[in-house]
Each structure stands twice: as structure tokens, then as C-alpha cells.
């Protein structure tokens, strides 16, 4: 490259020597380019990724508990004190630092006593897909950024729709997770409910009157979606559940009738196939029948329960889901996929037009007429990862039967865990889940409910602090409860028994040391089964 000559000074005297800014810039760019994946950097790419994989592999091999127990106040300064404007210069040093601020204290979901949340151990073929998709870095919004990736995603949507039984007009698109899928579905439902109203003032009035019905055990993303969609603050109406924590069809019928009489159009009923708190499945056939009779959109949130689609023994638990107008599936929960991998599916591909906007610089309207498959025409997102590749490789290597067998195994482990807690006088349990959730509470006879609340919260905190196990907490009928969410087929009854014993030990010690202590006033102190 020829650099421009120094300008001749007006006084004829030579200028002092100085560093050439452009030369420095060119050198910096050349050095920086060596970090970009290209034909000249493939050796570095292989080595850097191999070193990173080796770090993770060594940590996984050495893990003896799901968490180290580090407290937020201890970890925050380690990250906060890092000077991001001063690079370390090599990936080895950066990995050493990363180990200190994250990897060493990561939460390990592959550990059999990681029982807190809907995070699963991940399939190795999916990890291969993750490495490949991030290196190639396609975006699934347009065909000219993704090529064959578009058809892989579309094929997986079609495969899932067939498993559901949605029919030949079904369609969908991958999303970031259940919250986005639920928002997307409710957007479509809202637009269908308002499709015949064109006057702006009339649309505003209708928007203020639209209602969504969902159970008291439904996901909080329904309320968030209603707010984002501009609905009224009281737009989401919760429907009571039965003793099994499932939406009560009779109560749904009453709410549908009440809304009709009050001239409050129901734009959607949201049923759940796998509630987050209880792992319960709403009675889908009866709910679908009532929605069809009322002419109401049915959305099924199957973010958790979608693993039953490949179950060799439990698929019948989703009977009725094929009647949904839309549904949510989270492969990153019960298909053992890394986050994120989710999708929304619809019964009729035509409703996806409500998410379609055309931009001349990206997806001009003429592209649809030219049969160019731009996925952004269906999606709320524009730039979007090729997350479908992870599921594709998992299916092509393992097959759906193997995934289903793993999900069946965690459901069976949950059955065993529920029975262990149910027969243990130190605990009381809530409704039995057909999936892999167990909700329970330490509350032996003679312990005041308020003290039991505090003791259960304390036990969970102590477990986390020790790192010996991770369990979730929730509130049921105003009382503190604990929750196992089993998504690891390696979890055994011995693991569950150990965790129950640890909970009882921590809770019992707390109750013993508490000023309330024990009392003989059993009428005031006993805990009733929920």
C-alpha cells in the first residue's frame, strides 16, 4: 500500500518525525483480522475451540455437586473489577480468567442433584450443531442469509406439526423460547379477533374489551404478552383449577359464558400442557370442545410437555392438542437441547400473515410472489439464529425414540420421587404430575404453618449455599413449598432420598432453633395437606 506523502511545510523547514497514524491503523486492522474466522485462520480456530472444549470437559469430569454455593456478593466484584478496555492478548489467559469468574462456579445441570429448574442436560449432537451454527453464523430471516438452513428449519416445523397432528395447513417458526412463542401466538389471536374491524375508533374500543382466559397455574408470560399487546390491565382472566391443579372445564365454561353476557370478546383461551409449578396438563379435549363451541382461539402452551410428542409410552397424555389453533414447544426443555430452541406452531399457515411486514432492503413483497422462502415473513424476530440445526443433528444421530425414552425416564423418576415424599411423614406433597415435577413441603406434625414456611425457605437457601443440591421454591395456596424438576435421567432414588434428608435436616435445625420452637397446640400448629 502506498502511503500519502507528508505535506510540504509553508516555511520550507522539515517537519519533526512523527508516527504515521494511517500506518498504525493498517497494522491494527491486520492484527485484528487474524482473529476473524477465514481461510487463513482455520488453524487458530481449531486450536482455540479445542482449548475451550477441553476446559469445559475437564470441569464436567470433575463436578461433584451441581453448584459451588458462591454468593452473589462474592462473585460480583470478580466480574466488576475486570478492565474490558485492556485485552489479555491470548485466549489461554482469557480462559484462565473466565474459569475464575464463571466456569468454576457455574450451575451444572447435568449433575443428578440439579433439581431446581427446567434446564436439561444437553445432547452431544446438539452441542456439535451449536459449534457449527455459530461458526458459519447464518441468520434465518432471509433466504440469501441462510440457504439450506431455511429448509432444515421448515422441515423440523413440519415434522413437529405432524407429531402434534395439526394437519396439512400447519406451519410455524423457531423462536427464542416459550415467552416469545406465547406472545407470538396471542398476537395472531388478537389480530384474528379484530380482523373484521377496520375503523380506528372501533378497533380501540374492541382492543380494550378483549379477554384472554388461562388457568391460575398458567405461565406468567400470558400476562406479559397481554401488556405488550396493548390489552386492558384486567384482560387476563384466570380460571380456577381442580384438585389436580388442572384448568377446570366447568369453570372455563362459566367464564366463557360470563364474558359473552358482558360483551367481553374472548380472543384466546390458553391451556397448558405442563405447568411450570406443578407439571400438570390441562384436560385438552374438553377445553378444545368448549373453545370450538364458543368460536374461540385455543392456544396450548406445551413448552414443558412437548417431550411427550416423542414418548413411546406417554404420548396419549397430549390427546386433544391437535385441536389447538396454536401451540408452543420448547425443545430446550424436554428434547435435551441447549438454550435456545423453541417454536410456535399454528393450525393454519394463513394466520402467520399477521406477523408479516415487508421491507424493500430485506424481504420485498415481490419475493413472496417469486417463491423466495424468507422466514422473517413469519417471525417476530428479524436476525435469528439457526437453532434448528441442534435439533436436526440430534434427530439424525439419536432419533426421536431415544429422546422420548430419556423423557419417559425422567417422568418415571419423578413418580418415584413423589412416592418417596408422599410416604415420608416429614413431608406433604401437592398434586401428582404426569410429567417430571414434584411439589412438596417439609411440615411434620406439630409445626406451625408459619414456622414451616420459614424453615422450607431456609432449607432451600442452605442447600444452595452448600452446593450439595439445587431445588426450586414456590408458593402454593399462600404457603412456601419446594419443588423438584427432574430432567436428568441419571437422577436416582438415592439422589432424591439424600436431598430429602438434607432438606429435613436444615429445616428441622432451623425450626428447633427458632423462638417459636415446637408447641403442643397441635390445633394451631398442624399443617393440612394441600
- Three-state SS for 373-397 is CCHHHCCCCCCCCCCHHHHHHHHHH
Lookup result for grid cell 454455593: 69
The low-confidence residues of the chain, meaning pLDDT below 70, are 1-24, 517-530
Name the class of domain 139-398.
alpha beta
Residue 28 is predicted with a pLDDT of 87
pTM above 0.75, yes or no: yes
Lookup result for grid cell 489467559: 93
Fold of 402-525: 3.90.1150
Lookup result for grid cell 512523527: 18
Under a CB-based contact definition with an 8 Å cutoff, are residues 439 and 417 in contact?
no
Residue 196 is predicted with a pLDDT of 86
Q: Could you tell me whether strands 437-442 and 427-429 are parallel, antiparallel, or unpaired per DSSP bridges? A: antiparallel
First to last CA, the chain: 78
Grid cell at residue 480:
412456601
DSSP 318-371: GTTGGG-SEEEEEHHHHS---S--EEEEES-GGGGGGG----TTT--HHHHHTT
Q: Could you tell me whether strands 171-175 and 211-215 are parallel, antiparallel, or unpaired per DSSP bridges? A: unpaired
CA distance 493 to 484: 13
Residue 27 is predicted with a pLDDT of 75
Nearest Cα neighbor of 224 from 174, 186, 264, 275 is: 186
Amino acid at each position: 500500500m502506498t502511503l500519502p506523502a507528508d505535506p510540504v511545510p509553508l516555511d520550507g523547514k522539515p517537519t519533526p518525525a512523527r508516527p504515521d497514524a494511517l500506518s498504525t491503523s493498517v497494522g491494527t486492522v491486520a492484527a485484528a483480522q487474524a482473529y476473524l474466522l477465514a481461510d487463513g485462520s482455520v488453524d487458530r480456530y481449531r486450536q482455540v475451540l479445542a482449548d475451550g472444549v477441553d476446559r469445559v470437559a475437564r470441569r464436567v469430569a470433575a463436578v461433584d455437586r451441581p453448584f459451588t454455593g458462591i454468593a452473589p456478593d462474592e462473585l460480583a466484584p470478580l466480574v466488576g473489577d475486570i478492565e474490558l478496555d485492556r485485552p489479555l492478548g491470548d485466549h489461554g489467559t482469557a480462559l484462565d480468567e473466565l474459569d475464575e469468574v464463571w466456569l468454576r462456579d457455574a450451575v451444572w445441570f447435568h449433575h443428578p442433584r440439579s433439581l431446581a429448574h427446567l434446564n436439561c442436560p444437553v445432547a452431544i449432537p446438539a452441542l456439535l450443531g451449536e459449534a457449527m451454527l455459530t461458526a458459519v453464523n447464518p441468520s434465518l430471516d432471509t433466504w440469501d442469509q441462510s440457504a439450506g438452513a431455511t429448509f432444515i428449519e421448515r422441515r423440523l416445523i413440519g415434522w413437529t406439526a405432524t407429531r402434534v397432528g395439526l394437519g396439512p395447513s400447519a406451519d410455524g417458526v423457531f423462536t427464542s423460547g416459550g415467552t416469545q412463542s406465547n406472545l407470538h401466538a396471542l398476537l395472531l389471536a388478537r389480530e384474528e379477533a379484530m380482523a373484521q374491524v377496520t375503523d380506528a375508533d372501533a378497533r380501540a374500543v374492541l382492543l380494550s374489551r378483549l379477554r384472554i382466559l388461562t388457568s391460575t397455574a398458567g405461565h406468567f408470560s400470558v400476562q406479559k404478552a397481554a401488556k405488550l399487546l396493548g390489552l386492558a390491565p384486567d384482560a387476563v382472566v384466570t380460571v380456577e383449577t381442580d384438585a389436580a391443579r388442572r384448568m377446570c372445564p366447568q369453570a372455563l365454561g362459566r367464564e366463557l359464558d360470563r364474558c359473552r353476557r358482558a360483551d367481553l370478546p374472548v380472543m384466546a383461551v390458553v391451556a397448558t400442557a405442563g405447568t411450570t409449578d406443578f407439571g400438570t396438563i390441562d384436560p385438552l379435549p374438553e377445553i378444545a370442545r368448549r373453545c370450538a363451541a364458543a368460536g374461540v382461539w385455543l392456544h396450548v402452551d406445551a413448552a414443558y410437555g412437548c417431550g411427550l410428542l416423542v414418548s413411546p409410552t406417554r404420548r396419549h397424555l397430549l390427546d386433544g392438542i391437535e385441536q389447538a389453533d396454536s401451540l408452543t414447544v420448547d425443545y430446550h426443555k424436554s428434547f435435551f437441547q441447549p438454550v435456545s430452541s423453541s417454536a410456535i406452531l399454528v393450525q393454519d399457515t394463513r394466520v402467520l400473515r399477521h406477523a408479516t411486514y415487508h421491507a424493500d432492503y430485506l424481504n420485498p413483497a415481490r419475493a413472496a410472489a417469486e417463491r423466495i422462502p424468507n422466514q422473517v415473513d413469519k417471525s417476530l424476530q428479524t436476525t435469528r439464529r439457526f437453532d434448528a440445526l441442534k435439533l436436526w443433528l440430534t434427530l439424525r444421530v439419536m432419533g426421536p425414540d431415544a429422546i422420548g425414552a430419556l423423557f419417559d425416564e425422567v417422568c418415571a423418576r419423578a413418580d418415584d420421587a413423589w412416592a418417596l415424599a408422599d410416604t415420608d411423614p416429614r413431608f406433604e406433597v401437592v398434586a401428582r404430575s404426569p410429567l417430571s415435577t414434584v411439589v412438596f413441603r417439609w411440615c411434620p406434625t406439630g409445626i406451625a404453618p408459619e414456622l414451616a414456611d420459614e424453615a422450607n425457605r431456609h432449607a432451600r437457601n442452605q442447600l444452595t449455599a452448600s452446593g450439595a443440591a439445587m431445588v426450586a421454591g414456590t408458593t402454593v395456596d399462600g404457603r412456601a413449598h419446594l419443588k423438584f424438576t427432574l430432567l436428568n435421567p441419571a437422577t436416582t432414588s438415592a439422589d432424591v432420598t439424600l436431598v430429602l434428608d438434607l432438606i429435613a435436616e436444615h429445616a428441622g435445625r432451623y425450626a428447633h432453633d427458632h423462638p417459636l420452637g415446637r408447641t403442643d397446640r397441635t390445633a394451631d400448629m398442624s399443617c393440612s395437606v394441600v
